[in-house]
């Protein structure tokens, strides 16, 4: 069963601004799904509509097969949301805010569960602190703990690592993977390509309110990925390489040549290039192969 289904979703704000245009997407149970896009693309609008905080203009949304508006109470209980903006000035204590939040969803009290969440997020030593006394990164983790307080099946995180240092980012990624293993479906937005590349199973790219690609991460890398082979040849061999340069469309700066080829092609054209060099007795050195990462691909896709 799909954890999330969004069909033909549109959103125009009161001032007429069209923030989402015909969004279709599904997220499978147990997936980590990343919605990637620049600022203003419509990520928060989409997440807030799915969670029932912002009204849609038209379209349909289902959470585990149930309409998110007709069955608001049921679907809301299945969802945990970590919003983009974090509340910072609360005088409330960490544990009491979690207990309160859990109570809102009519879950029986379980200090044991809440403590296990705090432990996993490395917050247990702040259990009785007032939230306002915590650091920014800790406050963000409290928001995550709060979103998990009622044991949701789907966790939404809106830019969970914006402005968070590298260490905490990595801790969070491994925690999200742990939640995934426990069967929680994760939907996160991010403008860090690196984040999507690191933890997502599937990635959607949104730009100007439109989804421009939605695909398994591995497939994106295969389909759009390139490899760059570069090597140096001897100065005295420069004339010998001319026909090969044309055949393989090599680029060069001085004696350093680069060959760009599609990494998904089964026949390895790099191998053929190297054997052509051999046949002409062109000696090469300093060979390097670079695979494109999601960032290279993303830049090429958005430029199109
Ligand atoms: P993201 O989260 O990807 O940065 P948002 O979903 O917050 O983007 O915003 C998408 C677009 O919708 C932006 O151009 C933003 O200015 C606009 N927008 C957001 N909220 C409102 C609103 N209440 N009224 C009008 N326009 C809005
Ligand atoms: Mg946003």
Binding site membership of 42 for ligand 1 (Cβ less than 6 Å): yes
Binding site membership of 19 for ligand 1 (Cβ less than 6 Å): yes
Binding site membership of 249 for ligand 1 (Cβ less than 6 Å): no
| Contact present, 157 and 188 (Cβ < 8 Å) | yes
Structure tokens at 299: 């830049």
**Which is nearest to 145 in space by CA: 161, 128, 123?**
123
| Contact present, 108 and 102 (Cβ < 8 Å) | no
Binding site membership of 43 for ligand 1 (Cβ less than 6 Å): yes
Nearest CA to ligand 1 atom 14: 40
Binding site membership of 39 for ligand 1 (Cβ less than 6 Å): yes
| Contact present, 120 and 175 (Cβ < 8 Å) | yes
Structure tokens at 303: 């430029």
Binding site membership of 41 for ligand 1 (Cβ less than 6 Å): yes
Mutate to test the pocket of ligand 1, among 10, 17, 53 (most ligand atoms within 8 A of CB): 17
227 CB contacts (<8 Å, ≥6 apart)?
260, 261, 262, 263, 270, 289, 290, 291, 292
Residue 75: the pLDDT is 96
Residue 194: the pLDDT is 83
Angle between helices 166-181 and 136-148 (to 10 degrees): 10
User: Among the atoms of ligand 1, which is closest to the Cα of residue 38?
Assistant: 3
Binding site membership of 37 for ligand 1 (Cβ less than 6 Å): yes
Element (H, E) at 138: helix 136-148
Indicate which ligand has the atom closest to the C-alpha of 35.
1
Indicate which ligand has the atom closest to the C-alpha of 13.
1
Residue 192: the pLDDT is 85
Structure tokens at 197: 């590349």
Cα(190) to centroid(ligand 1), Å: 15
Binding site membership of 271 for ligand 1 (Cβ less than 6 Å): no
Query: How far is residue 119's CA from residue 106's CA, in Å, rounded to a whole number?
Result: 23
Q: What is the residue-level pLDDT of the chain in tens, covering all 304 positions? A: 899 999 999 999 999 999 999 999 999 999 999 999 888 999 999 999 999 999 999 999 999 999 999 999 999 999 999 999 877 778 999 999 999 999 999 999 999 999 999 999 999 999 999 999 999 889 999 999 999 999 999 999 999 988 788 888 898 999 999 999 999 999 999 988 888 889 999 999 999 999 998 999 888 877 777 888 999 998 888 888 999 999 999 999 999 999 998 766 656 788 889 999 999 999 899 999 888 777 777 777 766 5
Residue 265: the pLDDT is 60
Binding site membership of 15 for ligand 1 (Cβ less than 6 Å): yes
Query: How far is residue 123's CA from residue 113's CA, in Å, rounded to a whole number?
Result: 14
Q: Tell me the C-alpha to C-alpha distance, in Å, between residue 215 and each of 36, 99, 293.
A: 12, 38, 15
Query: How far is residue 98's CA from residue 271's CA, in Å, rounded to a whole number?
Result: 58
Residue 16: the pLDDT is 95
Surface-to-core class of residue 258, CB atoms within 10 Å of its CB (0-12 exposed, 13-18 middle, 19+ buried): middle
Query: How far is residue 290's CA from residue 165's CA, in Å, rounded to a whole number?
Result: 27
Residue 23: the pLDDT is 98
Residue 224: the pLDDT is 76
User: Among the atoms of ligand 1, which is closest to the Cα of residue 39?
Assistant: 4
């Amino acid at each position: 069963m799909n954890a999330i289904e969004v069909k033909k979703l549109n959103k125009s704000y009161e001032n007429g601004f069209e923030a989402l245009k015909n969004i279709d997407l599904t997220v499978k149970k147990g997936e980590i799904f990343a919605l990637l896009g620049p600022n203003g693309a419509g990520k928060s609008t989409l997440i807030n509509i799915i969670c029932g905080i912002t009204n849609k203009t038209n379209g349909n949304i289902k959470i585990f097969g149930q309409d998110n508006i007709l069955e608001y109470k049921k679907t809301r209980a299945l969802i945990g949301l970590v919003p983009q903006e974090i509340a910072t000035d609360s005088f409330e204590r960490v544990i009491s805010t979690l207990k309160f939040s859990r109570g809102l969803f009519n879950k029986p009290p379980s200090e044991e569960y809440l403590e296990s969440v705090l432990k996993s997020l490395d917050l247990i030593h702040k259990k009785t602190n007032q939230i306002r006394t915590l650091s920014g990164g800790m406050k963000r983790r409290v928001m995550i703990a709060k979103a998990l307080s009622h044991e949701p099946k789907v966790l939404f995180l809106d830019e969970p690592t914006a402005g968070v240092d590298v260490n905490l980012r990595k801790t969070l990624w491994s925690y999200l993977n742990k939640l995934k293993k426990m069967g929680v479906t994760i939907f996160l937005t991010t403008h860090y390509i690196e984040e999507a590349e690191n933890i997502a199973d599937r990635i959607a790219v949104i730009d100007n309110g439109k989804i421009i690609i939605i695909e398994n991460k591995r497939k994106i890398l295969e389909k759009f990925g390139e490899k760059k082979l570069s090597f140096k040849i001897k100065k005295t061999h420069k004339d010998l390489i001319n026909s090969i340069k044309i055949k393989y469309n090599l680029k060069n700066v001085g004696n350093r040549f680069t060959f760009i080829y599609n990494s998904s092609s089964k026949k390895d054209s790099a191998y053929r290039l190297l054997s052509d060099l051999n046949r002409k007795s062109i000696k090469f050195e300093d060979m390097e192969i670079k695979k494109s990462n999601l960032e290279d691909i993303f830049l090429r896709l958005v430029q199109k």
